C-alpha cells in the first residue's frame, strides 16, 4: 500500500471514530472568539479533538500546533471530511489571513505568541483596513500611529470591520509617516481590542444583521513587538495578506471541509416549481441551474489547481485575481435562484407562513448583495485584472 493510501485509510478511520454526529452537516463553527461562548457539546468536542490532532490548521508547522501535513495529505483530509459531511472545527481570520501572514513574515516571538492560540481556537481576529474615505484607494488611509517608545499610540477610524464586536485582536494598516508617498509611510500592526482606546459600533444592514462595524481609536496602544515587517513597509505585508485572502476566498479555510449547505438547487427547484419525468418542470429554470452548477464546478477546480501550484512552490498565478470577484458572483447567482424559485415564499422576512430556512435564505439574499462591494469591489477587481494581469492600457 502506498503512503498516500495508507494515510487515507488512517484518516478515514480516525474521522469516523472521532467526528461526533452533531459535527456532521450544517451547524455552528467556532471562530475562536472569547466573546462567543461555545454551548453545543458536539461542536466543542469536535474542536478539541481536531486541536489535539493539529488538524484545525493541518498544513501549519507542528511546532506551533499545526498538523504539518503535506499538500497531498491535506487534500486527502479534505476529501475524507467531505465524505462524512464533517464541517470545519474552527474558522475565522486567524486561520485564513493573519496566521499564514505571521508564519511567513512574522518574527519568531510573534509566531510563538500568536500562532498556537489561533490553532487552539482561543482568539478571534478582525481586519483594520478600510476607512470612511479610504476604501477602494486603501493607501490613502489616515489612521495615525505615533511612536511612543516601546509602543505606538493610534488615533483614527476604520469601517466595515467584519466581526469587530466579537474579535479579541485586530491586524491593521496605520500611517506612521505622513510626509512620504502614501504607499511608503504605512505600517502593519497587531493590537488587542479589549482596551480603553478602542470603541466598536456595529452597523445594521438591510438583512437585519450587523456583521460589519465602525471601529474608533482614541489613543489606542499597539506594542512595538507587534509590528509585523519593517516600520513604514506595511503596504508589502498588507498586500501579502490580501493574497492569502484571495487564495482562501470560498475555499476550505483552515484546512477543514465545509459541510454541505443542504438540499441541492435542483432538489429545491423540483420542490417549489414542480418536476416532470424526474426533471425540473420549468425549462428556463432548469437551464439556469445547470449553467450555475457547471460554472461552480469549474470554479472549484480552478481553486484546487491553484492550491496545488502553491503547494509545488510556485508563485500564485493570475487565477487568484478572479477568486473574490467570480466567487461573489456565483454566490449571488445561487441566492437569486433560491429566492426566485420559491415565488412568494422567497420574499418572507418573518411570520408563521415561512419556514426558518426560507426566512434565512431571503435574508441571505439581501446580505449577499454587499459581497460584491466589501473586500474590494468587483469593479476594482476588474480594473486590477485588466491592468495587472492582462496588461491593458488605462
Give me the sign of the Cα torsion angle 164, 210, 26, 256: negative
Pair 363, 355: CB distance under 8 Å: no
* CB environment 23-42: b (16+ within 10 A), e (fewer): bbeeebbbbbbeeeeeeeee
Write the CA distances from 150 to 27, 128, 146, 198, 234, integer angstroms.
43, 21, 11, 19, 18
Which DSSP letter does residue 142 get? -
Calpha distance 335→365 (Å, rounded): 5
Tell whether the torsion through CA atoms of 126, 156, 172 and 133 is positive or negative: positive
Grid cell at residue 353: 407562513
Comparing C-alpha atoms, which of 307, 328, 333 is closest to residue 375? Answer: 328
Angle at 369 between CA 367 and CA 372, to 5 degrees: 125
- Is residue 245 part of the annotated active site? The answer reads yes
Three-class SS string for 314-379?
A: CCCCCCHHHHHHHHHHHHHHHHHHHHHHCHHHHHCCCCCCCCHHHHHHHHHHHHHHHHHCCCCCHH
- Which residue, among 134, 131, 132, 136, has the nearest Cα to 379 in the 3D structure? 136
- Kindly report the length of the chain: 394
CA-wise closest residue to 162 among 119, 120, 207, 202? 202
Among 73, 80, 245, 361, the active-site one is 245
- List residues with catalytic annotation: 245
Amino acid at each position: 500500500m502506498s503512503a498516500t493510501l495508507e494515510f487515507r485509510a488512517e484518516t478515514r478511520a480516525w474521522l469516523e471514530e472521532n467526528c461526533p454526529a452533531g459535527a456532521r452537516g450544517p451547524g455552528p463553527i467556532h471562530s475562536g472568539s472569547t466573546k462567543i461562548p461555545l454551548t453545543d457539546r458536539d461542536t466543542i468536542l469536535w474542536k478539541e479533538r481536531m486541536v489535539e490532532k493539529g488538524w484545525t490548521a493541518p498544513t501549519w508547522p507542528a511546532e506551533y500546533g499545526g498538523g504539518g501535513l503535506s499538500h497531498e495529505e491535506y487534500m486527502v483530509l479534505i476529501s475524507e471530511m467531505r465524505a462524512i459531511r464533517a464541517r470545519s472545527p474552527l474558522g475565522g481570520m486567524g486561520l485564513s489571513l493573519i496566521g499564514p501572514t505571521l508564519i511567513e513574515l512574522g518574527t519568531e516571538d510573534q509566531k510563538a505568541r500568536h500562532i498556537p492560540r489561533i490553532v487552539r481556537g482561543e482568539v478571534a481576529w478582525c481586519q483594520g483596513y478600510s476607512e470612511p474615505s479610504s476604501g477602494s484607494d486603501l493607501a490613502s488611509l489616515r489612521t495615525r500611529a505615533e511612536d511612543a517608545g516601546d509602543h505606538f499610540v493610534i488615533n483614527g477610524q476604520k469601517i466595515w470591520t467584519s466581526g469587530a464586536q466579537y474579535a479579541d485582536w485586530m491586524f491593521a494598516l496605520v500611517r506612521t509617516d505622513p510626509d512620504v508617498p502614501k504607499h511608503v509611510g504605512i505600517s502593519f500592526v497587531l493590537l488587542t481590542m479589549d482596551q480603553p482606546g478602542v470603541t466598536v459600533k456595529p452597523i445594521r444592514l438591510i438583512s437585519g444583521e450587523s456583521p460589519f462595524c465602525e471601529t474608533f481609536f482614541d489613543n489606542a496602544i499597539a506594542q512595538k513587538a507587534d509590528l509585523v515587517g519593517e516600520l513604514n513597509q506595511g503596504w508589502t505585508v498588507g498586500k501579502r495578506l490580501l493574497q492569502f485572502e484571495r487564495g482562501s476566498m470560498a475555499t476550505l479555510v483552515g484546512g477543514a471541509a465545509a459541510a454541505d449547505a443542504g438540499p441541492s438547487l435542483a432538489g429545491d427547484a423540483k420542490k417549489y416549481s414542480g418536476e416532470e419525468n424526474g426533471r425540473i418542470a420549468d425549462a428556463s429554470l432548469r437551464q439556469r441551474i445547470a449553467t450555475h452548477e457547471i460554472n461552480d464546478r469549474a470554479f472549484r477546480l480552478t481553486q484546487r489547481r491553484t492550491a496545488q501550484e502553491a503547494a509545488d512552490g510556485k508563485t500564485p498565478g493570475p487565477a487568484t485575481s478572479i477568486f473574490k470577484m467570480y466567487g461573489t458572483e456565483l454566490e449571488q447567482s445561487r441566492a437569486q435562484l433560491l429566492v426566485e424559485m420559491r415565488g412568494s415564499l422567497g420574499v418572507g422576512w418573518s411570520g408563521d407562513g415561512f419556514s426558518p430556512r426560507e426566512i434565512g435564505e431571503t435574508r441571505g439574499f439581501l446580505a449577499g448583495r454587499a459581497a460584491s462591494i466589501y473586500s474590494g469591489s468587483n469593479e476594482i477587481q476588474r480594473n486590477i485584472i485588466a491592468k495587472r494581469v492582462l496588461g491593458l492600457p488605462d
